[in-house]
Amino acid sequence: MSMLGSYLTLAAVLFCVGLFGVLTKRNAIIVLLSIELMLNAVNLNLVAFSKYGAQPSLAGQIFSLFSMTVAAAEAAVGIAVLIALYRRKATVNVDEYDELGR
């Protein structure tokens, strides 16, 4: 039980680092990486709960497998979208993605 707190803290730190990255980073690749960081924080949480939680069960590990697979698919589409956008704009600086709303 004592281990659970450490894992949850680490996951919370990872999630916050990821969120900070999404909100502040200028490089589009780093933004996508930061989203992955947030999703990995969730996986850590799920696996920690499935081992040390109040009611340990396998469901958490199954859930984390699903979330890893889906995160990979999401990253693939995210990168594909970014490549299509890079071909038009020749930059990965998100500050220059400002054509909309003008």
Q: Which residues bind other proteins (CB under 8 A)?
A: 15, 18-19, 22, 28, 31-32, 35, 38-39, 41-42, 45-46, 48-49, 53-57, 59-60, 62-63, 66-67, 70, 73-74, 77-78, 81-82, 84-85, 88-89, 97, 99-101
Q: What is the token pair recorded at 94?
A: 């998100």
Give 6 or 56: the residue with its C-beta nearer to other proteins: 56
The β-bridge partners of 93 are 27
Q: How far apart are CA 75 and CA 13, in angstroms?
A: 22
Name the residue among 25, 39, 102 with its Cα closest to residue 74. Answer: 39
Least CB distance to other proteins at residue 28 (A) = 7
Least CB distance to other proteins at residue 77 (A) = 5
Q: How far apart are CA 53 and CA 95, in angstroms?
A: 42
